[in-house]
Every structure is written in C-alpha cells, then in structure tokens.
Amino acid sequence: MSEVSPRSDWTRAEIAALFELPFTELVYRAADVHRASFDPAEVQLSTLLSIKTGGCAEDCGYCSQSVKAEAGVPATKLMEVQAVLQSAAQAKDRGSSRFCMGAAWRNPKDRDMPAIVAMVQGVRAMGLETCMTLGMLAPHQAQMLADAGLDYYNHNIDTSPEHYAEVITTRSMDDRLDTLAEVRRAGINVCSGGIVGMGETRADRVGFIHTLANLPAHPESVPINALVPVKGTVLGNMLADTPLAKIDDVEFVRTVAVARITMPASMVRLSAGRESMSEMTQAMCFLAGANSIFTGDKLLTAPNAGDDNDAAMFARLGLKAMAAEAPRGCAVREAAE
Ligand code: SAM
Ligand code: DTB
Ligand code: SF4
C-alpha cells in the first residue's frame, strides 16, 4: 500500500463514523495505515523527567501538580542543569531516544530561560532528541528554544473544545492553540494530544481528534493518555466515586486507532495510564497504530510501567526500539536536508 498523505479537512461526521466501525474493522484499517508509513514492529521510546514539580497556578482537574489539588505533590524549584543531564544520561543508557523535560508552570519566566536553554543544549549534545513541556510560550521564548535546538515541544489540547472548560478554567483551548502556533512558527516539532477517560463523551473524543487532525499541520507526535486517577484531584476523586466512569479498554483502543487513521504520518504515543493497562490492551494499541511510549518507572509524578516490564513485553510481542530520528513529514528535519 502506498503512503497515505495527511489531510486537514476531516469532518466530525467522518471521525464519528470511524469510531462507529466494528472494532475489528477499525483496528484493521488503522493497522493498514500504520504500515504505510512505519515499521509496525518499531516503537519509539521517550523518557520523562519533571524538572520543576508541583505548585502550578493552573487548575487542570486531572493534575496532582496544581495548587488546587488537595494533597497535591509538594512544590520544588527548577532542577540544576547538571542533575538534569545526569538523568538524561541514565535514560540514554536504558535505550531511550528522546528525553522529555516537564515543568509545572503556567508559562516559563524569562529568568528561567537560560537554564532551560542549557538543558536543551546539554541533552542534545548527548545525542538524544529533546522535548520540553513548560506551559504557554511567548513568541520570543519559542524562538529561544528553537535556537537552542529543541526538537519537540509538548503542549496538549487535552480534550474537545466543548469539554475543555469542564476540565480547566484558568486557560482556554484558544490559549493552547496559540502556543502550538508559536511552536510551529519557530520551527520546533509539535507534540500535542490529550487525555481520555475524564468523563467525556464519545462526541468529545471525536471533537478532540477533529481538533488535532485539522490543525494546519498535524502534530509530529500525538500522545494519547489514559487518565491516571490521582486522589485529591477533581477527576481522581470523580473516578473514585464513580468507578464506572473509567474508560473501557475497547474505547481507548478505538481512540488510538482513529488518531492513527486521521494523522497517518504522526507518531502516536501510548502515554500515561500504561501502568494499570493489561499487556493485551497495550498490544491492541500497538496493532491499532500506537508506535511510541514513555519508558521508565515514573512519568512526571505518577508511576509508569517500568523498564523490566517493558523489556519483557517487547520480547513477548516481538517489538523493538526505534532509532532516534525525527518522523517523516518533520518540518525541521526536512528544512535541514
Ligand atoms: N505544565 C505543562 C502543561 O500542562 O502544558 C506541562 C506538564 S503537564 C503535566 C503535561 C500533560 O500531562 C498535560 O497536558 C496532560 O495531558 C498530562 N497529564 C497530567 N496529569 C495527568 C494524569 N493524571 N493523567 C493523564 N495525563 C495527565
Ligand atoms: C503527555 O501527554 N503525557 C506526559 C507528557 N505529555 C508530559 C505526562 C503524563 C503525566 C502523568 C501524570 C504525572 O506523572 O503526574
Ligand atoms: Fe499545571 Fe500542567 Fe498540571 Fe495543568 S497539567 S496543573 S498546567 S502542571
């Protein structure tokens, strides 16, 4: 099959129709699209580090790092550059190709930028791809990150435009889209996705994928997180009270498959939530086109599956780690070639 060229004119009806396909047909189509652009046995490995934890002024209902979360995680200062580089070296030794640094900020302050730039330069110098997620960016900050050589910026739209205000009130979806546009303008690869299992409807999942798939250019990387319910957060408490609100595995795999079909050349990352997911569900996600994961014992603050479990899963499923290389259709790489 020839490569599928990305479209940015998906209608909600088309996306809803994909969700409604018989499960086996949907997964078959997604697997077919996956093979057209990627080796389906290869999975890209990224490692996360929280470089500044807790005390965040935003009120994201899922996040333990918000000041609004009861018993949220304690706030720390921005880590020292050397400590970040040490952690990146360990991630590289364990086979990761990308190091993603996250800060619990609404936006970075200009006084933090020199340290951030030094982290990007230092991690890059080790031969790792770099990713940062620091909240909203002003245009000059996006440019500073681009000049430092940042490969990816993660900034999630999280959910549908309609559901957004149910989850976050301190910033809007348009604020998020503005930052994504600044990241694009600066020539940095975009990593943007969201969370499923936050009590949203299927129509919201359609609206979420519709928003991502109709961006002027698809994000090079699309993280699909399953909500990690953290006690003391609005959504963690909601799930504790109404366990039936937990998204079922079939619907999660469907969301991955629809992301793969609508954004055929993007990396689709099976992100948070793997720790409590069966190996079979993860295998279904890989079949449905997921081709990236977060490795290691920890995400930012929440536990992750862990390297030993992942090595065993990769051996059983016959998967292998993808070599470090920005994906096809990557504006930065193509401009450099
Ligand atoms: N503060 C920055 C921001 O929000 O853009 C960067 C860090 S933030 C923790 C990165 C992303 O992690 C969020 O946008 C959200 O999609 C995801 N996330 C946070 N807490 C989560 C949870 N409990 N379960 C699943 N995903 C979560
Ligand atoms: C993304 O979409 N998921 C990652 C990364 N981007 C920054 C973060 C998941 C966080 C899970 C909850 C925690 O560790 O606190
Ligand atoms: Fe802050 Fe990011 Fe957590 Fe929202 S998701 S509260 S912006 S750290």
> How does pLDDT run across 233-271, given as a tens digit for each residue?
999 998 877 776 778 999 999 999 999 999 999 999 999
**Ligand 2 shell residues, CB under 6 Å:** 48, 64, 100, 102, 133, 154, 156, 193, 223, 225, 228, 271-272, 299-302
pTM: 0.95
pLDDT at 335: 45
Active-site entry in 131, 205, 254, 274: 131
pLDDT at 67: 95
116-147: per-residue pLDDT in tens?
A: 999 999 999 999 999 999 999 999 999 999 99
Q: What average pLDDT does range 56-74 have in this prediction? A: 93
Which among 299, 301, 304 is the best mutation to test ligand 2's pocket, defined by most ligand atoms within 8 Å of the CB?
299
Question: Which token pair is 302?
Answer: 């929440």
Q: Helix crossing, 202-213 with 249-262: angle to 10°?
A: 20
| Residue nearest to ligand 3 atom 4, measured at CA | 60
What pLDDT band is residue 4 in, cutting at 50, 70 and 90? low
User: Between these two residues, 29 and 244, which has the higher pLDDT value?
Assistant: 29
Cα separation of 78 and 72, whole Å?
Answer: 18
Q: Are the beta carbons of 280 and 41 closer than 8 angstroms? A: no
Q: What average pLDDT does range 208-222 have in this prediction? A: 97
Quick one: what percent of the chain has pLDDT higher than 70? 94
Amino acid at 54: G
Longest Cα separation, the chain: 53
Q: Give yes or no for residue 149 having a pLDDT over 50.
A: yes
Q: Give yes or no for residue 306 having a pLDDT over 70.
A: yes
